[in-house]
Amino acid sequence: MPTDILQLPLQQFKGVGPKVFEKLNAMGLRTIEDMLFHFPLRYQDKTRLTAIGELREGMDAVVRGTIRASGIARGRRPTLIVKVDDGTGLTTLRFFHFRRAQALQLKVGEIITLFGQPRLVGGQPEFAHPEYQVGERETELEDALTPVYPTTEGMGQSTLRNLARQALTYLAQNPPDDLLQGRLKDAPSMAEAIALLHQPPASVNTQTILEGRHPAQLRLASEELIAHQISMLSRRARTLQLQSARAAEGGKIAKAIIDTLPFSLTGAQTQVCSEIVEDLKKPTPMLRLLQGDVGSGKTLVAAISAAHMVEAGHQVALMAPTELLSEQHFRGFNQWFEPLGVKVLWLTGQIKGKARREALAAVEEGEVDIVVGTHALFQDHVTFASLGLVLVDEQHRFGVNQRLSLTRRGKNDITPHQLTMTATPIPRTLSMVAYADLDCSVIDELPPGRKPITTVLIDTARRQQVIDRVGAACREGRQAYWVCALIEESDALQANAAEIAAAQLSEVLTDLKVGLLHGRLSADEKAEMMAAFAANRIDILVATTVIEVGVDVPNASMMIIENAERFGLAQLHQLRGRVGRGAIESHCLLMYQSPLSQTAKQRLAVMRESQDGFVIAEKDLSIRGPGEVLGTRQTGLSSFRVARLPEHEALLETAQTVAEELVRDDPKRAEQIESRWTRAREAFAHV
């Protein structure tokens, strides 16, 4: 909202003293504008009377009648019971908590008007603790539906309704400018849309509001999505004004790496490498997202990209979400680059004291070409001599600001190129919102020779059969992962579950070597265990989800996931991707605990039916919503006030088009729209 009056604090409203304001503040409600965008969760219909004879279970109903009987039923807990008659039927009111004055007020012969949701008991309607008013005078019915707001302890609905009414009065007196000027056809004004959502007339189909389909919501969601697109375009424009290092023309190091490979790049890898190298040769920073399903060869593409920058005399930083994965990347990169005279350093939080000081000095002096690490890479004291390219693995695990902070690590004025990678395919809907500032490359084919993974659902009651099957496979020279989960996300409890499973398997499969991997082990212990498994010195690796991302053991051909119903789809897909990485036929057994919820049934059915990460990602979005799929903290999606995905997916194409037109043709108006919608939320992804 451009009008300053809507930025006034709520303290000036009637009924808002220091204590109330403190509670409002805790809910994120500080200004008139905040109150206007605090929309109801649902609505009550107090606009008409309902005859007792027409009452249905669960409906909102205002009933007016005469009290025919009133008394206290004695028992373990005294209950005030009142019978009300309106000529069309009789209903019972029950009060399990009541005061003596209340019992005296509700006496036979009095007229009562009540509101609540009846339930049918023995075919007769009953109300438990309804709102009510006693007296001959007619209680006025509401003109509009009554809003029920999201609230917190100690903040009643009557207070929030009163504040919303006062805020709507300010809105009517200070309507916001129409910054879209007819770009949205047949849409209500912003003021009309806000007012309708707070006080819908009784004729409105509230189901359309609850589902996000009402024209008032579509009007607001459209402008919000346009504002978000403008903010992403603005960020990209700011980035493109910066200067970056340019890759070498020759590509000798990259060619040398490719020549040592025992296989050829896939067509998709070749295409993506070409797109990236073209970006790296430009004088402005690359902002590119690389999507590729589990095992599609993203790491190799990252190494080839790094080779081009190193050849041009610049450094490369590779950031991974876990020490285990960062070490794997280090080993892979070292294997490719060391024979070519390229210095690769592994920098993690485990490196301390003198060794750390020496490592940091080597990075700052330019004696190191490629630095691989975890979040330790973006701590303030790490400085690069000439950082040319930042590679970020598993993009969704990092906040945007973490990712961007690496771009400020160089001693010179160049801004490094950025390639962010994810093995969690992102539905196009989310990509258009969360990564609209990035160019996107997709590796959409797997390397040749990869066998499909057979996925089976099995009740945990048949656990012994699963153990026997795993034992038989391992005796034939195969290896297996056995993944444990608990509802509690505690390292200690997760580790305990894994320890119990490992002990049970060791007890039954005495001739096989069982290893154990969980989050409480040190980085060295984890690395040692993974190295033993990779070297085939361990037959079954019992683990928590620390093995989820990126670990590569081609001989592992069985994945058993206990309590699979407790995992999200993306996580199940990632875990399953740990097998099927060699030429052996692979299997994934999803063990579940009956009975399954409807959502769990949906998830497991998707896993059984599909191995396409993009199909799975779309299903995941429809089941869980965008905040859970991507992590709202990282994407800014949690900050949307009205827009909801995937419900408002259809608005995205228009939002992109309108945002591009405004930025190009009317930058001042574009800035006003961006400010209107982003002012109240944390600045997202500013360079």
State pLDDT tens for residues 540-555.
Answer: 999 887 665 556 788 8
The DSSP line for 405-444 is: HGGG-BSSSPPPEEEEEESS---HHHHHHHTTTSEEEEE-
pLDDT above 80: residue 375? no
pLDDT above 90: residue 482? yes
User: H or E stretch including 181?
Assistant: none
* Residue 321 confidence (pLDDT): 79
CATH topology of domain 453-610: Rossmann fold (3.40.50)
pLDDT above 70: residue 590? yes
Q: Average pLDDT of the chain?
A: 85
pLDDT tens-digit map of 422-475:
877 777 767 777 777 788 888 888 777 677 789 999 999 999 999 999 999 999
* Residue 352 confidence (pLDDT): 83
Q: 648 vs 41, 207, 621, 639, CA distance in Å?
A: 18, 16, 13, 15
- Predicted TM-score of the model (pTM): 0.69
Confidence of residue 350 (pLDDT cuts 50, 70, 90): confident
Q: Return left, alpha or beta for 449; rule: phi > 0 is left, psi -120 to 50 is alpha, else beta.
A: left
Homologous superfamily, domain 48-134: Nucleic acid-binding proteins (2.40.50.140)
DSSP category for residue 265: P
Confidence of residue 3 (pLDDT cuts 50, 70, 90): very low
Q: Poorest-confidence range of 90-99, 280-289, 569-578?
A: 569-578
pLDDT tens-digit map of 610-627:
888 878 887 877 776 655
Q: Poorest-confidence range of 122-126, 370-374, 380-384, 491-495?
A: 491-495
Q: Return left, alpha or beta for 353; rule: phi > 0 is left, psi -120 to 50 is alpha, else beta.
A: left
Question: What is the number of residues in the chain?
Answer: 687
Which residues of the chain form CATH 2.40.50.140?
48-134
Which residues of the chain form CATH 3.40.50.300?
252-443, 453-610
* Residue 302 confidence (pLDDT): 95
User: H or E stretch including 83?
Assistant: strand 79-85
**Residue 279 token pair:** 């970006």
Average pLDDT over residues 307-332: 89
pLDDT tens-digit map of 29-39:
999 999 999 99
pLDDT above 80: residue 556? yes
Amino acid code (one letter) for 349: G
CA R_g for the chain: 31
Sign of CA dihedral 355, 360, 363, 366: negative
User: H or E stretch including 76?
Assistant: none
Percentage above 90 pLDDT, the chain: 49
Homologous superfamily, domain 252-443: P-loop containing nucleotide triphosphate hydrolases (3.40.50.300)
pLDDT above 90: residue 161? yes
If DSSP codes are grouped into helix, strand and coil, which group holds residue 22? helix
If DSSP codes are grouped into helix, strand and coil, which group holds residue 457? strand
Q: Which of 138-142, 481-485, 630-634 has the highest mean pLDDT?
A: 481-485
Average pLDDT over residues 88-116: 94
Question: Look-up: residue for tokens 């790049």?
Answer: 265
